[in-house]
Chains A and B, each alone.
Chain A
Amino acid sequence: MDDAAHKKMTRGIKRHKLAGRVVFIISLIIYGVFIFTGPDIGHSAIGAFFPVVAAALCWGWRGGLIAGLCAFPVNLLASIVTGIDWQTSMLTPVGIGGHLFFILQGLIIGWLQDINLKRVNAELRLKEQIQQSAADLKRAQSTEHRLETVLEQSADGIYITENKNNTIILANRAFLEIVGLNHDELIGKEPFVFLPVVGKTYQTTLGEDVTIEIDYYEKNYLILQQLHTKGLIRNWQYYIEGPKDKLVPIEANVSNLLDQQGQCIGAISTVRDVTVHRLTEFALNQTNEFLNNVIESSGDCILISSNTGLITHVNQAGLKMLGYTLEEMLGKAAMEFFSVKEGRYETTAGDSIWLSTEEIKRVYDRISVFLEKGKISNYASYLMHKDGRLLEVEHTLTLLYDEKGDVIGSVGITRDRSMRSRMERELNRQSELLNQANRELESFAYSVSHDLRAPLRSISGFSTALEEDFASDLPDEAQGYLQRIKKASHRMSQLIDDLLNLSRVSRYEMQREKVNLSKLAVKIVERLKEQTPGRSVACTIQPDMTTTGDPHLLSILLENLIGNAWKYTDKQAAPGIFFGLADDDHRPPGHEDNATIFCVRDNGVGFDMAYADKLFSPFQRLHAEKDFPGTGIGLATVQRIAHRHGGNIWAHSTLGKGATFYFTL
């Protein structure tokens, strides 16, 4: 019987009972009307017929009997109330007989109804049982199918061994793939068939070479032999021989299969190929080790703290910098080490410095900026060494985030700048001293320029006046002395001018621009020709030599070098000057840069190379004043100009055969 039919039947019985109750109540009302208004008992006796039948149909034989029995006293009460002779009613055979008839009939009809109900219920129960067992069967079938599907679809290899012979009775696709065997090659075999062979060297899927030792083999063999007695085995790692003779690292879990009585009937093993897992683990370890090495090998302090600001890691450099042990720092608030108060401190570099409130505020402001922006680089700050000395440091701080973008901590890289700061302060002091010295030099030069010239002018002026006005009164010797005085004052005036020029070259503020040296040289030669019209010098100037530098200073440089060449070729029959580029062969040792070498060459008197090192010092002269006039400051000026351009100057000469001056800029 199916569900629908069963429901229909149950519904029929319910309707049947409901109809009975309705008929019973309606007939009871009609009966009531009859007995209290009816003309005689006969009517009322007949009127009770319907309620009795209805009660029997509704409630079986018990209902019929009770209704029949109730009809008799009710009729009796009605005859008393209505004034009909109760004796007539009670004694009338028809009346009594009528009542007995009702009772009997109610009983019979009720009994028949009961029999009918029992049959229907029995039928219903039977059908329900049949239905139930059909559903059970269906459920059982689908469970088995599902289990098979799960087994087959599992990414892990699964095989089942039976208890009696320890042979494999079932293996899923994944397991066949791991061992590289087909179904028939595996079923019925013992589980150690896929163990690698002792003594043989295999390559693993991880790329390592592994030779199977006897101990290793035996240990795993024993486990596989006794799978059923071992109970539960968790995360058991060993190699099995996979396809192409490669060893596959696996992780196995084994549990016993029990029958309904709790007896072990076999073992189920799940096997996972852990090659990828191992590789990932290996890479992760390598990364960790690499990071650790980087952190530990850093000379800067690297401090990692949690999102609550507690220190979780400090490298060795950090511990050394701060003077604490790892235990003393881990778990402490990083700010403990960052906090400084106003005051005078001795730094780790041995300096004594004053930390002002403004400076401390600046540091804290920067930390606020860091928390806002998530990163801040190279800002000057302070740390306290364990011994109370102050560390001047430079921080680079970075917030660390997780994948969701939440802050999980921060990394601080701290560089000790105590020593550097000390050197910077020292440098500042030195540079201040130097500036002061320069200022003094400047004022000295100024006063030389003004104050020394005035008496010189008097000497020169009045000796001229003496000569002009009293020449006739003076003997020749005295006039000769006057000449000497004039000459000496003239020379001194020149010395003062040259010295001032030298000091100006050093103080002069350079402007760097592109300069055409060839054009400058041409102008200088033209000027020299104008000044000494009697001389004829063959000048060769290589065209278009350009450089970057200060045009004014470079002009002074060339004036001096070409002027010297002009001067020292004075006594030659065929004087010649060349200004051009020199090849690298002329580069002296220690100047192996790629700077262009310029040279000014002449065929003049030259100089003795023994004194070459004196050439560029002020007041050093290699020739007598009477032969070649000069103050000995020109080449010192030239060298200073070359140095100020980052270049150099050197010279080569053979006495009597000319000199060459090389310079770079």
Chain B
Amino acid sequence: MQKNIIMVVEDNEDDLELTLRAFAKNNILNEIVIARDGVEALDYLFGTGIHEGRDLRIMPEVILLDLKMPRMGGIKALKRIRADERTKLLPVVVLTSSDEEQDMTESYECGVNSYIRKPVDFNQFVDAVRQLSLYWVVLNEHPHAP
């Protein structure tokens, strides 16, 4: 049942478009699941709301999480992910505009696996996406939920 899904939680259409473009430019052909905010992301992960009845054996390989989003921000979503038995081991990478110390500290305190600031320069952004996909999707080994 391994589908190597990458989940992108992002509310900004432009950023989303650029992220997808970066995947494409890096020839990353994994299935991409998109959530527009924390609530949607949790619905997918726990099979609730619009994702009611989803097969929960399928979980993303890595979650790219923005911090500032409507309804539910990244930090709160991260806490919920880490608090649940089914999702607590999922790799989560914060991908955000902010390089504020407090955001970084809080993310790591909540158990994030990686913290990456989105570079303004698109070429750098493409490079960053390539590296993180290579690392988390290809190189990294981690236990899967049964």
Which residues of chain A have a CB within 8 Å of any CB of chain B?
446, 449-451, 453-458, 460-462, 464-465, 489-490, 493, 500, 504
12 additional contacts (CB under 8 A) given A453-B97, A457-B122, A457-B125: A449-B98, A449-B99, A457-B14, A457-B118, A457-B120, A458-B15, A458-B18, A460-B120, A462-B18, A489-B120, A493-B121, A504-B101
Q: Which residue of A lies closest to B99 (CB)?
A: A449
**Size category, B interface:** 20 to 34
B68 at the interface (CB under 8 A from A): yes
A621 CA to B67 CA, complexed, in Å: 35
Q: Which of B1-37 contact A (CB under 8 A)?
A: 12, 14-15, 17-18, 21
A548 CA to B131 CA, complexed, in Å: 40
A493 CA to B118 CA, complexed, in Å: 12
A32 CA to B97 CA, complexed, in Å: 159
Could you tell me if B14 and A462 are in contact, using CB atoms closer than 8 angstroms?
yes
Q: Which residue of A lies closest to B67 (CB)?
A: A450
Which residues of chain B have a CB within 8 Å of any CB of chain A?
12, 14-15, 17-18, 21, 67-68, 96-101, 118-123, 125
A2: min CB distance to chain B, Å: 122
Select which of B15, B98, B101 is within 8 A of A457 by beta carbon. B15
Select which of B18, B100, B101 is within 8 A of A461 by beta carbon. B18
> What are the residues of chain A within 8 A of B120 when measuring CB–CB?
453, 456-457, 460, 489-490, 493
A177 CA to B32 CA, complexed, in Å: 125
The 6 A-B pairs of least Cβ separation, nearest first, read A493-B120, A458-B14, A464-B122, A461-B122, A461-B18, A453-B97
> What are the residues of chain B within 8 A of A462 when measuring CB–CB?
14, 18
> What are the residues of chain A within 8 A of B118 when measuring CB–CB?
453, 457
> What are the residues of chain A within 8 A of B67 when measuring CB–CB?
450
> What are the residues of chain B within 8 A of A454 when measuring CB–CB?
12, 14-15, 97
Task: Give 6 pairs: A residue, B residue, CB < 8 Å, sorted on A.
Answer: A450-B68, A450-B98, A453-B97, A454-B97, A457-B122, A461-B122
B102: min CB distance to chain A, Å: 8
Q: Which residue of B lies closest to A469 (CB)?
A: B21
A450 CA to B73 CA, complexed, in Å: 14
A493 CA to B15 CA, complexed, in Å: 16
- Most chain A C-beta atoms within 10 Å of own C-beta, residue among B97, B99, B120, B121: B120
> What are the residues of chain B within 8 A of A460 when measuring CB–CB?
120-122
User: Given A461-B122, A489-B120, A450 and B97 touching (CB < 8 A)?
Assistant: yes
Q: Which residue of A lies closest to B68 (CB)?
A: A450
A489 CA to B123 CA, complexed, in Å: 13
A293 CA to B105 CA, complexed, in Å: 65
B53: min CB distance to chain A, Å: 35
A215 CA to B21 CA, complexed, in Å: 125
- Most chain B C-beta atoms within 10 Å of own C-beta, residue among A456, A460, A461, A489: A461
